[in-house]
């Protein structure tokens, strides 16, 4: 099949769409990770880690 077969043209938009979805997925995973680490939800209650939910509001904000 020739490189510029019209099939490639038709698939191009689909491939770019998929690329967009994958990039969005990466951004979401990154965002969720940042938020989870900042809020301490992951590590809360585990070994030697403070529990933000058990601290007074002033200490959490510090």
Q: Tell me which residues touch another protein (CB under 8 A).
A: 7, 10-11, 13-14, 17, 28, 31-32, 35-36, 39
Compute the least distance from the CB of residue 35 to another protein, in Å. Answer: 5
* Structure tokens belonging to residue 47: 């070994």
| Nearest CB to another protein, comparing residues 39 and 49 | 39
Compute the least distance from the CB of residue 37 to another protein, in Å. Answer: 12
Compute the least distance from the CB of residue 38 to another protein, in Å. Answer: 9
In whole angstroms, give the CA distance from residue 54 to residue 56. Answer: 7
Cα 9 versus chain centre, distance? 31
H or E segment and range at residue 27: helix 6-39
């Amino acid at each position: 099949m020739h490189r510029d077969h019209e099939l490639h043209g038709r698939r191009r938009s689909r491939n770019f769409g998929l690329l967009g979805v994958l990039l969005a997925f990466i951004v979401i995973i990154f965002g969720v990770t940042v938020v989870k680490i900042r809020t301490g939800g992951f590590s809360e209650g585990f070994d030697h880690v403070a529990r933000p939910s058990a601290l007074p509001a002033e200490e959490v904000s510090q």
